[in-house]
Structure 1
Amino acid sequence: MTVTDIKLANPSLRDVHGKIEKAARIAGRKSSEVMLIAVSKTRSVDEIRLLIAAGHRVFGENRVQEAAEKWPALKAEYPDLELHMVGQLQSNKAGEAVALFDTIHSVDRPSLIKALAREMDRQDRRIPCFLQVNIGEESQKGGCDIPAIAELLEQARKSGLPVVGLMAVPPSNANPAPYFALLAKLARDHGLDRLSMGMSGDFETAVKLGATHVRVGTALFGPRAAQAA
């Protein structure tokens, strides 16, 4: 199914794809450079199937346990599905994560790098990883401190962990543009060319500033029950 077919098949996908295309055009980029990850945390299999039926194939989950309950059967039914881990990951869940996910966006500490590298060796599976950066220096958020990026990258490379880019979530209720621009600069400084940044409320800004992966949930699935109440 082509992107045009996807856009025609589902109004939410049509809207999000249209906004990505417009933002990319403004930035002098191709929309094909941006991967749209449909974040399906707390969403039912039936809700997910609606996007699959429309042709979408890339999804994201925040918790290993929830993903393990929903995705093995879906991936067996649709072998071309791609699943991304976009939430915080505990080191003791590294084995399950390596087995289940196709990309991990939330690597942020030495112990997790060690656990993931060990599991990738054991399972003979190498999957791309992003270093998550605490771009707003917020104590309540995951992600490594900016000065720690170089050391974590060195550890990852020595251990064989394939780090391909940086990921961040800017502070809420703040203009995200300066944080996205900073993440893009940090990626360039460290020789990385992929940027996982931008969610439902700010993915257009992220695309304009170089995002290669945007993590969109509500704009595709609609408000969650708790939000709608």
Structure 2
Amino acid sequence: MSLPEITARIDAACERAGRSPAEIALIAVSKVQPNERVEAVLDAGHRIFGENRVQEAQGKWPAWKERYSGVELHLLGPLQSNKARPAMELFDAIHSIDRLKLARRIADMAQEIGSCPDLFLQINTGEEDQKAGIAPRDADAFIRDVRALDVPVKGLMCIPPVDETPSLHFALLAKIAARNGLSGLSMGMSADFEQAIAFGATHIRVGSAIFGARISD
């Protein structure tokens, strides 16, 4: 697969859903991809990328941000509170806010730095023990508490269980977002982004379908 093919599939999914492709941010997930693959996508004109680890992103993206104008970088993986400052300085959005302690740390840093990335609150829609995120039953209170910190809550994020129908989880996330007045929905990956678009996704996270199989984790 390739970037043009993914773009064509997004266009088709939007047409089926009665949506505009302009509503969809395609995040090219570049974690552990060889630099030449990432640069090829940058050279093709794409500007929205996602990384899972702060340290890995620090090693490559500052130079690319200088070389390529308009790059938008999203942190998709878990964030430790002690990495909040470098994450906030490098990333334009953080999709993995999964606890109030982290949100408070970010709020404190925002006051100190004078700016804050867009934040997505991670909801553990499958209530899986091995995954981070807030249980759906606690989502409304968590959203309220994070909003009270005066930080930019853009929307919600989820990663459906691999052995369950993703559309059920996309529908649940959309329902929680709607009742809390949130428009951002970070959901859908290489295997299911078309379903996510049908359920209102605004940010889809596609890696291997753009870059090819990862070299390592």
Q: Structure 1 or 2: larger helix share?
A: 1
Counterpart of 1:177 in structure 2 is 167
Counterpart of 1:144 in structure 2 is 134
Residue 8 of structure 2 corresponds to residue 39 of structure 1: no
Counterpart of 1:119 in structure 2 is 109
Q: How do residues 153-168 of structure 1 correspond to structure 2 at under 5 angstroms?
A: 153-168=143-158
- Of the three residues 42, 48, 57, the one matched with 2:38 is 48
8 Å CA contact 1:166, 1:194 repeated in 2: yes
Per-residue CA deviations over 1:89-120 (Å, capped at 9, x if unaligned) read: 11111011100000010101011001111111
Q: How far, CA to CA, are the matches of 1:76 and 1:225 in structure 2?
A: 26
Per-residue CA deviations over 1:166-203 (Å, capped at 9, x if unaligned) read: 10000002211111011111110111011000000100
Secondary structure (helix, strand or coil) at the match of 2:127 reads coil
Q: How far, CA to CA, are the matches of 1:226 and 1:41 in structure 2?
A: 9
Q: CA shift at 1:47, angstroms? A: 1.4
Q: CA shift at 1:131, angstroms? A: 0.4
Q: How do residues 87-106 of structure 1 correspond to structure 2 at under 5 angstroms?
A: 87-106=77-96
- Of the three residues 65, 78, 103, the one matched with 2:68 is 78
| Unpaired stretches in structure 2, ≥5 consecutive residues | none
Counterpart of 2:194 in structure 1 is 204
Q: CA shift at 1:226, angstroms? A: 4.9
8 Å CA contact 1:60, 1:86 repeated in 2: yes
Secondary structure (helix, strand or coil) at the match of 1:225 reads coil
Q: How far, CA to CA, are the matches of 2:178 and 2:123 in structure 1?
A: 14
Q: How far, CA to CA, are the matches of 2:50 and 2:216 in structure 1?
A: 20
- 2:199 partner letter: L
Q: How far, CA to CA, are the matches of 1:12 and 1:109 in structure 2?
A: 36
8 Å CA contact 2:33, 2:215 repeated in 1: no
Counterpart of 1:66 in structure 2 is 56
Secondary structure (helix, strand or coil) at the match of 1:130 reads strand
8 Å CA contact 2:32, 2:216 repeated in 1: no
| Unpaired stretches in structure 1, ≥5 consecutive residues | 1-10
8 Å CA contact 1:181, 1:209 repeated in 2: yes
The count of aligned residue pairs is 217
Secondary structure (helix, strand or coil) at the match of 1:119 reads helix
Q: How far, CA to CA, are the matches of 2:216 and 2:151 in structure 1?
A: 37
Q: How far, CA to CA, are the matches of 2:216 and 2:74 in structure 1?
A: 24
Secondary structure (helix, strand or coil) at the match of 1:211 reads coil
8 Å CA contact 1:156, 1:162 repeated in 2: no
8 Å CA contact 1:196, 1:211 repeated in 2: yes
